Amino acid sequence: MSIRGTIRGLAERANPAFAVAVIGIPLLALVYATTFADVVHHTYVHVMAGVLWTGIDVFIALVLGPVLGGLDVEQRANVFQRLTPKTSFLLPSLSAVTIAGGITLALRIPAIFSHAYVWLAIFTFVALVPTLLLVGWQFDAFGDWRWQAWFGVVLVGSLAFLATTVPDFGWTEPVFVVALAIVAVLNVLGFGVLMPGEVRMYQQMTSENPDTQVIADIGMRNAKLGGIQGVFQLAVVATMVYIRYGGF
């Protein structure tokens, strides 16, 4: 049975041990942080995942991107064919752990993050629904029952979450609203644009006649968008510093 074009095939290209490690270790750290760890260790897991995520995005945008921009299309495509399988596992893992770690950490300090659940319900809707719409649009999947099923579950679930929390709506600290808005943008950009782009590159890599121009173009677009992500990530860092040292 061929594994070409599957997640297993992508893992083979990335190196199976690498794929397992970069998903397993962050997820285990998140489980530890949210179940057994104190606030200090929880903060460490959240911050370390965020530092790695931000650092990689900024490096790709500011260092690797300009280097690749100076190469011809074939050379550029060759680099992305080696790089994409690894980033396809590493970056979603780090971003998911950073976001989940930050949200669960905020819930541990309700005295600061007031009316947390209603704001998280708003965040869930704003972050997930546009992401799935972008995924459906990029893959022309609006007519696919699998996409429709996932979208239906997310839409109904997020609306139900909103419906159960809206009666308790109240204003929270503006810095939390800003942080949630930025993280929602990061989620939509990362999971709705960048990750589908990597999947499309992988589809080209495993096709009978790979289009190196498409691979190179999507790779360069993702590198530039990674720089935009880096700017938003630095803005989140600023909000975290303000929350920590702003007198709350």
Residue-number span of the structural domain to which 43 is assigned: 7-114+172-245
Q: What percent of the chain has pLDDT over 90?
A: 20
With respect to residue 150, please indicate whether it lies within any of the assigned structural domains: no
Reported as a single tens digit per residue, the pLDDT across 4-26 is 446 777 778 878 888 899 999 99
Position 152 scores a pLDDT of 93
How many domains, in total, are found in the chain?
A: 1
Residue 30 domain flag:
yes
For residue 129, is it within any domain? no
Burial of 216 (C-beta count, 10 Å sphere; 0-12/13-18/19+): buried
Distance CA 98, CA 102 (A): 6
* Sequence-ordered alpha helix ranges (H) in 108-189: 116-138, 145-165, 174-189
Q: What does the pLDDT look like over 176-191, one tens digit per residue?
A: 888 888 888 988 988 8
Report DSSP state, residue 113.
S
In a domain, 102, yes or no: yes
Q: What is the pLDDT of residue 245?
A: 67
pTM above 0.75, yes or no: yes
Average pLDDT, the chain: 84
Tens digit of each residue's pLDDT (9 = 90 or more) over 74-119: 888 888 888 888 888 888 899 899 989 888 887 887 667 777 788 8
Which position has the higher pLDDT, 154 or 231? 154
**Is residue 131 one of the residues assigned to a domain?**
no
- Percent of the chain residues topping a pLDDT of 70: 94
Calpha distance 149→169 (Å, rounded): 30
Residue 126 lies in a domain: no
51 pLDDT above the threshold of 80: yes
Whether residue 180 lies inside any domain: the answer is yes
pLDDT of 197-215, one tens digit each? 888 888 888 888 888 888 8
Residue 152 CB neighbours (<10 A): 12
Q: Is 159 inside a domain boundary?
A: no
Q: How far apart are the first and last CA of the chain?
A: 58
**pLDDT tops 50 at residue 1:** no
